[in-house]
Amino acid sequence: MSFAHLAASMPEVMVSLPMADGPAADFSDTPWWLSLFKTVLVFVYLLLQVVVVIWFERRVIGRMQQRPGPNRFGPFGLFQTLADGLKLMMKEDVTPKGADKVMFIIAPLMVGSLAFVSFAIIPMGGEVEMFGHTTPLQLTDTPVATLLVLAVAGVGAYGFVLAGWSSGSTYPLLGGLRSTAQVISYEIAMGLALVAVFLFAGSMSTSEIVAAQDGLWYVFPLAVSFVVYIITMVGETNRLPFDLAEGEGELGGGFHTEYSSMKFGMFFLGEYINMFTVSALAATLFLGGYYAPFGLGLINDGMFNEGYWGILWFTAKMWSFIFFYVWLRGSLPRVRYDQFMKFGWKLMIPISLTWVIVAILLRSADEGFFGEGIWPLVITMSLIFVSLITAGWLIGYRLNMADEAKAESRKVPAEIDPFADGYPVPPLPGQKLIEPKPALAPASALVVGSAHDADTITEESSEDDRG
């Protein structure tokens, strides 16, 4: 069952919180041309973010690895991303002979274009005056706006499948299959992590979810959902340490191995736009969206929560997740594919399901009994749940390590004969070498030679004496 079917049954689950009739954002004073103008602004905003984040990632990882990073083209190397873009445009566009040319072209266009769609429902600020009209800093909103991000992520998986299949090569096909399994697996856990947010906000509208966090951000009472979402958003976007669809060591590049020029650039662009999309959604659902931090939000009756200030706070929160992405890439190695899938199906999804049940019980509790004290109860339950999960994971990890050590001790002998197979084999750590026994001379060597050989030897020795 897909998450869309699960979300469709949400109004039945939310007993005490009926769904909202419509979005909180008011678009009644927004003409079509203003919506078109805001679309262009969002497009430019995202493109500029991508240009900056590529330079930012290379500089931050360079500092982590004690090297400067790009620092030649432009001040502090700021124009290096433009040079990379020009290089991609001028490279030869090669299409494999055995490729399905139509699908080979459609796949990168699908990945690159769908990446922009999800940002349409992200509120980047409150209502502002623009060209004489009062309009929210958001393109559109619906009562089920959050599901649009999950729907677009599901459709985007088709781009990876088509790219791998249409290339007509083995490694791209394996990379496409990997990416599909990865996106589907972690999209389930991601959707379940958002269910608790829908329960507490009483809506799936992004603007209403932000409005519900005016007093308390959901990152505190819904810490479990936040942690699960952070992990799944890295797996959803194929980033290190979960970039198994692009594993250079075993797949040579993954589903886009056969792509070059701007076709490869579209995959590159889509990956970074998706990073900003999931980061923006995390800021919207858990960090109060465009609301100012707690201290600043109380100054002058919340003046920093009004007007264009929201873009500043929203961008800062979004970039905090982008730094987390870069930090992971510079710190952690790539995990094995079987470990990654086991982690998603055996840990992330069960934790999400259990936490959804806990959230439903908490949210459907009699508020007349708890009164205003329901939020401390929710926060306490979240901390207890996180502590239990952490303790269980640590215990399971130690038990697993102990089992592996026992298995290795059973498999590896204590002593080894380095010449047992006819050629020298070095010992493993902890093994001892068996001293090789001296080989006996073959029996044929002890047999006296034939009479003919003896006569020959006698004649040669007599000749030597005469000489």
d(CA 308, CA 45): 14
What is residue 319's predicted lDDT score, i.e. its pLDDT?
Answer: 93
Contact between 136 and 125 (Cβ < 8 Å): yes
Of 39, 74, 47, residue with least CA distance to 268? 47
Q: How many residues does the chain have?
A: 467
Whether 141 contacts 206, CB under 8 Å: yes
DSSP string, 152-170: HHHHHHHHHHHHHHHTTSH
Instruction: Say what the pLDDT of residue 412 is.
Output: 61
pLDDT at residue 72 in the model? 85
Q: What is the pLDDT of residues 126-143, one digit of tens each?
A: 888 888 888 888 888 888
- pLDDT score for 376: 66
Q: What is the pLDDT of residue 8?
A: 44
Residue pair 144/7 in contact (Cβ under 8 Å)? The answer is yes
In this structure, what DSSP letter does residue 148 have? H
Residues of the chain with confidence (pLDDT) below 50: 1-22, 366, 368-371, 446, 448-451, 454, 456-458, 460-465, 467
What average pLDDT does the chain have?
77
β strands within 309-418, DSSP E: 415-416
pLDDT of amino acid 317:
92
In this prediction, residue 441 carries a pLDDT of 53
Quick one: 182 exposed, middle or buried, by C-beta within 10 A (0-12, 13-18, 19+)? buried
What are the residue boundaries of the structural domains of the chain, listed by start?
A: 23-365, 374-409
How many angstroms separate the CA atoms of 11 and 363, rounded?
A: 13
Q: What is the DSSP string of 86-125?
A: HHHHHS-----TTS-HHHHHHHHHHHHHHHHHGGGG---E
Question: What is the pLDDT, as a whole number, of residue 382?
Answer: 66
What count of other Cβ atoms lies within 10 Å of the Cβ of residue 226?
23
pTM: 0.75
State the pLDDT at residue 297: 62
Q: In the prediction, which pLDDT does 438 show? A: 60
For residue 301, the model assigns a pLDDT of 60
pLDDT at 443: 52
In the prediction, which pLDDT does 400 show? 67
